[in-house]
Amino acid sequence: MDYIHIRDMEFYGYHGVLKEETVLGQRFRVTVALATDLKNAGQTDKLDNTVSYADVYTLCEKIVEGKPYKLIEAVAEEIANVILETYKVEVKGIRVEVIKPDPPIKGHYKEVAVEITRGAFDE
């Protein structure tokens, strides 16, 4: 299995259970790994034989900057579902990480994140 990685895409959204999260919004980072076969793309050097990174970025952007969710778990699930549905032939599995770098919770930590895996993913 081959993989396409798009790491640390940064967006601004209004996801959260606390009022300030849904009113003020905050930054989110998203990383995706797509399990796919890249042999044909590598041999032909044609974009038609792979998944467009720009299109995947745009799908993630629309989800994170669109409809608010209470949980980043729901954001990750929506990203996985949309990408798997959009690329049902090309993408056999997906790993999605959604990171909240600055959640409004008390304590000392670098960030909070969720990571989900859907479909065939060997890595």
Is 46 one of the annotated active-site residues of the chain?
Answer: no
Catalytic residue among 62, 100, 106, 110: 100
Please state the length of the chain: 123
Helix 53-64 and helix 72-86, axial crossing angle in degrees, nearest 10: 140
Positions marked active-site: 100
